[in-house]
């Protein structure tokens, strides 16, 4: 496969040559100045999904497929997607650039180092860690209580052995011993800040607001107090510029920032989205995991912050995931099972209700797998027709844009129907509500919970967040992506459950509170058979095994 010169890809999108800054042969950074030069007002499609099975349901693949199909229909379409993290790449899921004929390119580079954004975020995060501990050691430039340090360290890799560590051992000359932990880079507040920042000035202001700990008198200590923000921006200056790549068929793709969907807010960058909207007719963007996690945060956090709103939602479904939520055994989800499929429709129904709660129209995108039968696809079509929801079966994985034309036409029909009266922002809660009320609104409306319980630790965290000025911020829920509830074993449409919030963290720089539920961890571990074991580097330098099925 021969990729188009990245300058040609930029020209197709309408970018000026001086705004496309090549980063090697097949990828580029786009100058932030380009944001002020685009004059289009693209129609945004939010791609989400039902709760996936552990390997995922191909949401990124379908996002790329839709962009390809729209381009085949003569539309100036761009995919605005998240950057992959090395954790999933070498962990359970493999690469995050789509799959088959519906992938981003250069896939191996995007999945690995790409333009170095995640390395820059890791470095900026750990620079702050070093400056914080230096203040603990010297008591300068601010007195910082070692036992009240809130800032962790970060690494872009799944490593369960770093979840709880002790630093500062070796005697007085080597530091002040204390317990700490590592988060994966995608869960770092620095990642969330980069994704939400509007420009370099905003980036520095957000970084400076990060609460890293408390002084001996209990007052908050922020990154600005240890003089960290400017040096962090120096590391992140290039990373703030969106990345330009291409689809396998040569269409433009903006791939930038990658906060985790079940831990952070799970959306690509604000600057990348605004760039796409300024230059494209249609912008295809996705939010991490199911609608209950990524899409809710996209709408309540990202859209509220950036002042944008989608025209509609494309909800990705697979027959195997529906049967999984209908009670089929994991090893049997590819087999025909009408009873499990019909039971799984209850799960899909809940997600459609959640889309409607935001006042948005939806279409169903069926990511077709080879084992899928026409009889079961017809059952799903009948379900959609009975509810007045558009549906398209997509074979983008096997046929690229040609296999995505039905999907493109279905999405275009949804978008055209909104032209006369585009949907207006409708949030689940107002910022003036208490954090507890915001969390309950999400849990009851999107998860279907009866109520929310707060542990003693979570209540204490909330009181601390209030004291630090965080009461008026939106809420970023950290929850399993495998269930609507906080228990990954509860598939389908759980009812009669209480969601338990066990911890609340203030992300003052990103501008939200993180409410952690269940046993969710901010540093994942590798599975028994990690994806890293199937990677091969060939004599010509090409790499295989990064994607499932290679």
Q: What is the CATH number of the domain that holds 394?
A: 3.40.50.300
401 and 303, same domain (yes or no): yes
Please compute Rg for the chain using Cα positions: 23
User: Residue 235: is its pLDDT beyond 80?
Assistant: yes
Residues making up the binding site: 53-60
Q: Is residue 393 part of a domain?
A: yes
Kindly report, residue by residue over 291-308, the tens digit of the pLDDT: 999 999 999 999 999 999
218 and 266, same domain (yes or no): no
User: Residue 274: is its pLDDT beyond 70?
Assistant: yes
Q: Angle 117-138/229-236 helices, nearest 10 degrees?
A: 160
225 and 287, same domain (yes or no): no
Q: Supply the pTM of this predicted model.
A: 0.95
Q: Average pLDDT for residues 25-53, to the nearest whole number?
A: 94
413 and 269, same domain (yes or no): yes
Kindly report, residue by residue over 415-432, the tens digit of the pLDDT: 999 999 999 999 999 999
3-state secondary structure of 239: coil
Select from 190, 76, 177, 170 the least CA-distant residue to 123: 190
pLDDT score for 481:
93
Q: Is residue 273 part of a domain?
A: yes
User: Residue 518: is its pLDDT beyond 70?
Assistant: yes
Q: How confident is the model at residue 144 (pLDDT cuts 50, 70, 90)?
A: very high
Q: Is residue 524 part of a domain?
A: no
Q: Is residue 377 part of a domain?
A: yes
Domain with residue 198: its CATH number is 3.30.1510.10
A 10 A CB-CB count for 346 gives 14
**Of all helices (H) and strands (E), which one includes residue 222?**
strand 220-222
Residue 196 and residue 272 in contact, taking contact as beta carbons nearer than 8 Å: no
The whole-angstrom separation of Cα 284 and Cα 546 is: 24
425-433: list long-range contacts, CB under 8 Å, 24+ apart: 425/299, 425/303, 425/304, 425/309, 426/357, 426/358, 426/359, 427/299, 427/300, 427/304, 427/358, 428/296, 428/299, 428/300, 428/357, 428/358, 429/300, 429/474, 429/475, 431/472, 431/473, 431/474, 432/472
Q: Is 57 left (phi over 0), alpha (psi -120 to 50) or beta?
A: alpha
Q: What is the mean pLDDT of the chain?
A: 95
Domain boundary among 236, 258, 283: 236
How many Cα neighbours within 13 Å face the side chain of 415? Answer: 20
User: Residue 549: is its pLDDT beyond 80?
Assistant: no
- Residue 402 carries which DSSP code? G
User: Residue 93: is its pLDDT beyond 80?
Assistant: no
pLDDT score for 350:
98
- Name the phi and psi angles at 278, rounded to 5: -80, -15
325 and 403, same domain (yes or no): yes
Q: Is residue 495 part of a domain?
A: yes
| One-character DSSP codes across 499-517 | EEEEEEEEETTTTEEEEEE
Write the CB contacts of 307 (distance below 8 Å, at least 6 apart in sequence): none
Q: Is residue 28 part of a domain?
A: no
Domain boundary among 390, 420, 450: 420
368 and 251, same domain (yes or no): yes
Question: What's the burial of 60, exposed, middle or buried (CB within 10 Å: 0-12/13-18/19+)?
Answer: buried
Q: Average pLDDT for residues 241-257, to the nearest whole number?
A: 98
Q: Angle 229-236/200-208 helices, nearest 10 degrees?
A: 140
Kindly report, residue by residue over 480-495, the tens digit of the pLDDT: 999 999 999 999 999 9
Kindly report, residue by residue over 324-372, the tens digit of the pLDDT: 999 999 999 999 999 999 999 999 999 999 999 999 999 999 999 999 9
Residue 28 and residue 20 in contact, taking contact as beta carbons nearer than 8 Å: yes
* Residue-number span of the structural domain to which 136 is assigned: 117-236
pLDDT score for 288:
83
The whole-angstrom separation of Cα 482 and Cα 136 is: 40
Residues making up the binding site for ATP: 53-60
- Peptide linkage before 55 cis (omega within 30 of 0): no
Question: What's the burial of 489, exposed, middle or buried (CB within 10 Å: 0-12/13-18/19+)?
Answer: exposed
Q: Is residue 2 part of a domain?
A: no
190 and 270, same domain (yes or no): no
Q: Average pLDDT for residues 162-175, to the nearest whole number?
A: 94
262 and 203, same domain (yes or no): no
Residue 43 and residue 415 in contact, taking contact as beta carbons nearer than 8 Å: yes
| One-character DSSP codes across 89-133 | HHSSS--SSEETTEEEESHHHHHTTTTSHHHHHHHHHHHHHHHHH
Select from 363, 460, 453 the least CA-distant residue to 416: 363
Q: Could you give the dihedral angle defined by the CA atoms of residues 173, 176, 181 and 186, in that order, rounded to the nearest 10 degrees?
A: -70
Q: Average pLDDT for residues 123-138, to the nearest whole number?
A: 97
pLDDT score for 375:
98
- Residue 445 carries which DSSP code? I
333 and 307, same domain (yes or no): yes
194 and 217, same domain (yes or no): yes
User: Residue 110: is its pLDDT beyond 70?
Assistant: yes
pLDDT score for 421:
97
pLDDT score for 102:
97
Burial 212-223 (b: 16+ CB within 10 A, else e): bbbeeeeebbbb
The whole-angstrom separation of Cα 353 and Cα 362 is: 10
The whole-angstrom separation of Cα 325 and Cα 482 is: 10
497 and 454, same domain (yes or no): yes
Kindly report, residue by residue over 202-222, the tens digit of the pLDDT: 999 999 999 999 999 989 999
Position with higher pLDDT, 7 vs 93: 7
Position with higher pLDDT, 549 vs 300: 300
Q: How confident is the model at residue 74 (pLDDT cuts 50, 70, 90)?
A: very high
3-state secondary structure of 142: coil
Q: Is residue 97 part of a domain?
A: yes
Question: What's the burial of 62, exposed, middle or buried (CB within 10 Å: 0-12/13-18/19+)?
Answer: buried
For a pLDDT cut of 70, what percent of the chain falls above it? 99
Q: Average pLDDT for residues 101-125, to the nearest whole number?
A: 96
Domain boundary among 420, 451, 483: 420
Residue 545 and residue 537 in contact, taking contact as beta carbons nearer than 8 Å: no
344 and 310, same domain (yes or no): yes
Count of domains forming the chain = 3
Which alpha helices (DSSP H) does 280-366 contain, by range? 296-297, 303-306, 319-325, 338-357
Kindly report, residue by residue over 432-449, the tens digit of the pLDDT: 999 999 999 999 999 999
pLDDT score for 550:
64
């Amino acid at each position: 496969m021969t990729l188009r010169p990245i300058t040609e890809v930029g020209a197709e999108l309408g970018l000026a040559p001086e705004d496309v800054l090549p980063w090697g042969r097949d990828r580029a950074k786009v100058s932030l100045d380009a944001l002020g030069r685009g004059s289009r007002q693209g129609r945004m499609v939010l791609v989400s999904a039902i709760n996936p099975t552990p390997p995922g349901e191909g949401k990124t693949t379908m996002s790329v497929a839709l962009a390809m199909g729209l381009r085949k229909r003569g539309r100036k379409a761009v995919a605005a997607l998240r950057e992959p993290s090395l954790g999933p790449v070498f962990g359970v899921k493999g690469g995050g650039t789509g799959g088959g004929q519906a992938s981003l390119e250069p896939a191996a580079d995007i999945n690995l180092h790409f333009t170095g954004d995640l390395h820059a975020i890791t470095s900026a995060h750990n620079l702050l860690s070093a400056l914080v501990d230096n203040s603990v050691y010297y008591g300068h430039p601010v007195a910082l209580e070692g036992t009240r340090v809130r800032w962790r360290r970060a690494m872009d890799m799944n490593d369960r052995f770093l979840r709880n560590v002790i630093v500062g051992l070796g005697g007085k000359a080597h530091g002040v011993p204390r317990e700490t932990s590592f988060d994966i880079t995608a869960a770092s507040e620095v990642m969330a800040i980069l994704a939400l920042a509007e420009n370099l000035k905003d980036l520095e202001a957000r970084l400076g607001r990060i609460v890293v700990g408390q002084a001996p008198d209990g007052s908050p200590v922020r990154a600005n107090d240890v003089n960290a923000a400017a040096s962090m921006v120096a590391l992140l200056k290039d990373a703030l510029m969106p990345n330009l790549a291409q689809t396998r068929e040569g269409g433009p793709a903006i791939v930038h920032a990658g906060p985790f969907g079940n831990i952070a807010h799970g959306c690509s960058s604000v600057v990348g989205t605004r760039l796409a909207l300024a230059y494209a007719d249609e912008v295809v963007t996705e939010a991490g995991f199911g609608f209950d996690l990524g899409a809710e945060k996209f709408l309540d956090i990202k859209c509220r912050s950036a002042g944008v709103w989608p025209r509609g939602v494309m909800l990705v479904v697979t027959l195997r995931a529906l049967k999984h939520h209908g009670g089929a055994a994991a090893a049997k989800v590819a087999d025909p099972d009408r009873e499990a499929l019909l039971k799984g429709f209850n799960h899909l129904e809940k997600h459609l209700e959640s889309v409607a709660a935001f006042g948005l129209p939806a279409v169903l995108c069926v990511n077709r797998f080879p084992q899928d039968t026409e009889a079961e696809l017809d059952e799903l079509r009948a379900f959609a027709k009975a509810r007045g929801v558009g549906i398209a079966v997509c074979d983008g994985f096997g046929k690229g844009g040609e296999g995505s034309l039905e999907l493109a036409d279905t999405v275009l029909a949804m978008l055209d129907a909104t032209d006369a009266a585009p949907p207006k922002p409708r949030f689940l809660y107002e910022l003036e509500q208490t954090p507890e009320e915001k969390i309950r609104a999400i849990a009851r409306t999107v998860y279907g919970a009866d109520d929310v319980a707060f542990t003693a630790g979570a209540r204490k965290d909330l009181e601390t967040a209030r004291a630090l000025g965080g009461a008026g911020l939106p809420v970023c829920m950290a929850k399993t992506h495998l269930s609507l509830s906080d228990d990954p074993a509860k598939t389908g449409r759980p009812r009669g459950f209480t969601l338990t919030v066990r911890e609340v963290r203030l992300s003052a720089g990103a501008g939200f509170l993180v409410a952690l539920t269940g046993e969710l961890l901010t540093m994942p571990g590798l599975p028994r058979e990690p994806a890293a074991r199937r990677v091969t580097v060939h004599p010509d330098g090409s790499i295989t095994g990064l994607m499932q099925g290679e």
